Amino acid sequence: MKNKMKLSLNTIRKKMLFYFLMSIALVSSVSVYLSINSNKFFRKIDAMFLSSVLLEDMQNYLAESEKNLALFIRTKDSDSKNNYQLNADLLNENAEKLKNILLADDYNIERLTNLIDTFTKNAEEAIYAKQGRDANTMREKYNYVHQVGKYIMEEIQWLNLQQLKQNTEYYSALARNNIIVQKANFVMIVDILVLSCIIIFYITYKMTDPIMKLSQSAEEISKGNFDVDEVIVTSEDEIKIMAEAFNKMKSSVRNYIEELHNKSEIESKLMEKEMQNLKMQTLLNNAELQSLQSQINPHFLFNTLNAGVQLAMMEEAERTSCFLENLAAVFRYNVRRLDKEVTLNDEMNSVRAYIDLMKVRFGDMISFSVDIKDDELLQLNMPPLILQPIVENACIHGIGEKEEGGNIDIRVFRDEKDGLIEIVDNGVGMDKEVIDGILGKASAEETMPEKPKKGHTTGIGITNVIQRLRLYYRKDDIIDISSVKGKGTRVVIRIPAQEGKTCTS
């Protein structure tokens, strides 16, 4: 690619044209960027006030609908009926438009649309009763329509007020962001100007420096000094051609001994460079080979573990076979993709396999208990690799730091409609400041990736677990951590039954 660039810029004219077009492209890019940001700002402003305009129109359409309905009830005028129908249709149309707009406080638009449906349905029944001369039904339906209209008007006014508050806050934030963007744009413009000046100075230097060297060498040769250094030009243009011709002219007056000496010296340098290139290529080939040899296919590891299980079974080493099966199960589960949901039953199976591994590692130092009160909860969907990191923390940081060991209890039970997963240990515990730090880090908008901790199998920390739970269930109170220093820690995960869809397979 570098050689192609040199070939394409092999004249001063092409270089000047290229650098000129590059400067224009930089300035144009900044202009386009500023224009796009400006358009985005104004589009956000328009979208921000669209909901307020729709709500204001809905108030007018509702008032006109009630007015024309009342006029029809009194006069039975067909124009009043048509005007009512027109305004009612516009009212419903605006309500449908509101469904595509994010309203304040996540307002449920279905409540407003249901009121409007009730309003139009009873209004039509009142019109039908009026046409059928059923005065009692007409009076009853009209009074009910009037009452529902009040409810709708109050609902629209309340929603309009909330929307106004939200739009005010959003506009303030947007204005602050716009100031930041303006400052960033200013810095960008200054950077472009500075970069353009640097490019201009660099090009000027690269073009005039070889000419000055040629002038100095020509002056020395005119004085009879043929031992001046050769003029070296790295650019591929007319100046290099001039420098090469000048160097050839100077070399032609030297004797044959100097020419042979220079030639042998050049050949020696070329040979040394080729040897260096050959050594460098050998080093690169060795590095590439080592890189290929260091790549281990997870399927190879699974197959190897399975072969170990079969070998242990053939040798009747049941504990070793069970250990390898659990290790393969934990590893297979840990390398799965984190964006694929699993069931609580899958999580519990992985935790059981991990517990069996910890029993081999710690022996009687740590005791485990698993209590599932409701088997139906095992079919709830959840993100993968949630329970194992919590149990790992309890083993390594809770019980592992106690010489006498301890207990880890896992319970799954139902609390009203929600499912609860409780993990309790009697380890060293932690201070409230530590818990607040964990929850605060999980609530941060921008978080740095967690470094893998020694002794952990997944590299997934408790902060990552909390963040994925909150994103999956869209709730902040999805997990609760309580601890007493020196007594232990209790972690409770609440799975909302109405949002945790069950897996039927």
Tens digit of pLDDT at every position of the chain (505 positions): 444 444 456 676 677 777 777 777 777 777 777 777 767 766 766 666 777 788 888 888 888 888 888 888 888 888 888 888 898 888 888 888 877 775 656 667 788 888 888 888 888 888 888 888 788 888 888 888 888 888 888 888 888 787 777 777 777 776 777 787 777 777 877 877 787 788 777 777 777 777 777 777 777 777 766 667 676 776 666 677 777 777 777 777 656 556 677 777 888 888 877 775 564 454 334 434 433 433 344 544 555 556 555 656 666 656 666 676 667 667 776 666 566 788 999 999 888 888 887 877 777 788 889 999 989 899 998 888 889 889 988 888 888 788 888 899 999 999 888 899 999 999 889 898 988 888 888 776 545 455 545 455 554 678 888 888 888 888 888 999 999 988 899 999 999 875 545 443 3
Alpha carbon distance 400, 367 (integer Å): 12
- CATH class of domain segment(s) 336-495: alpha beta
- Rg over CA atoms, the chain: 40
Count of CB atoms situated within 10 Å of the CB of 338: 12
**What six digits make up the tokens of 49?**
């006030």
Residue with tokens 């993968």: 384
Contact 386, 469 (CB under 8 A): yes
| Domain edges within the chain | 27-187, 262-295, 299-333, 336-495
Give the three-class secondary structure for 228: coil
Amino acid at 325: E
User: Is-contact 61 92, C-beta < 8 A?
Assistant: no
Q: Which CATH class is domain 27-187?
A: mainly alpha
